[in-house]
Amino acid sequence: VPAAWQRPYLNIFKHFRVEEWKRSAREGDVAALTDARLKGTVYRIRGSIPASNYLQLPRTGTQSLGLAGRYLYLLFRPMPRKHFVIHLDVATQENQVVRISFSTLFKEFKSTATWLQFPFLCGAAEGSLGDGAARRDLMGAAPADVRWTCLVLDLPSILSLYLSRRYSHLKSVKLCSNLLVKNLCTSDLVFDPGVTFSEARRADLACRGVAPMPREMAFPVPRGQKWHDLYDYIRFPSEGSKLSYDSIQKICPGPAAVSKDPQPVTLTKAVRDRLSLIHQITSPKAVSAPW
């Protein structure tokens, strides 16, 4: 359970004062810009070699963020026609560090006991993900019209589902080129950016574990327009999905009600069998998932 100072959510960039670069590190082409559309500061990370152009929290590998919230929110936009890479180092209750990476460079899901690599598919249209050919068409560099995205990662579920490990806390974040980042946030709550505070009260969303996005974390929505018409919302793993959970992509316009169960994903027997093979991997060399 997150400490009191991390509840109900923690604005990571604000708390760690990322703009001062004392508790964070930057390498290569990293710059703070004012984004006219978002009406605020964003960080642009660009360069042809992701490993040489990045923003990292905390500053060194010997430090730890120590953030225990179940969900990590990443507000970002991949750069059009470019690739990006993001690494998250998380600690398990067994005192093991696992790296969770996702990138448009990855062609397939790979797994070892200490590293999960997920392809990130940009610009997925609803209803177009039912078969492998459709997913392959979405792989690769971000499209020209790629949108600002709210990515919600359920860290305990990822560790439980793919490695049968119990989540402890988020240790570090490394954002590599090429992308724009507005903010990072951790929380035990599911935030729905598409509802207002008044709508949330009327619908009593709190009883379903859903809350409106905090104002300091929100993307602006002009009067008369809808959030989901302007931006992408991706929750991973997603409840009720028929996909094989081998990539991160948009599959629904908004969040579902949250479960207190740290394993909210219902898997088919075929997928369970495939994942059981991954769990049996003992070699340190990354191997492709059997599908």
> What average pLDDT score do residues 135-144 get?
74
The overall average pLDDT reported for the chain is 83
Amino acid at the residue 112: T
Domains present along the chain, CATH in parentheses: 4-125+136-188 (2.60.120)
With 0-12 / 13-18 / 19 or more C-beta atoms within 10 angstroms meaning exposed / middle / buried, residue 105 is middle
Closest C-alpha to 246, from 215, 182, 184, 290: 290
d(CA 227, CA 67): 28
Where do we find the tokens 């574990």? 209
d(CA 151, CA 184): 10
Cis check for the bond before 178: say yes or no (omega within 30 of 0): yes
* Residue range 78-111, pLDDT digits in tens: 999 999 999 999 999 999 999 999 999 999 999 9
Tell me which of 222 and 210 has the higher pLDDT. Answer: 222
**251, β-bridge pairs:** none
The secondary structure of 115-138, three-state, reads EEEEEECCCCCCCCCCCHHHHHHH
Tell me which of 59 and 281 has the higher pLDDT. Answer: 59
With 0-12 / 13-18 / 19 or more C-beta atoms within 10 angstroms meaning exposed / middle / buried, residue 183 is buried
Tell me which of 191 and 254 has the higher pLDDT. Answer: 191
Tell me which of 278 and 115 has the higher pLDDT. Answer: 115
Indicate whether 269 pLDDT > 70: no
Whole-number pLDDT of residue 93 = 97
Tell me which of 196 and 101 has the higher pLDDT. Answer: 101
What are the contacts of 220-229 at 24+ separation with CB within 8 A?
A: 220/37, 220/38, 220/39, 226/194, 227/193, 227/194, 228/194, 228/253, 228/254
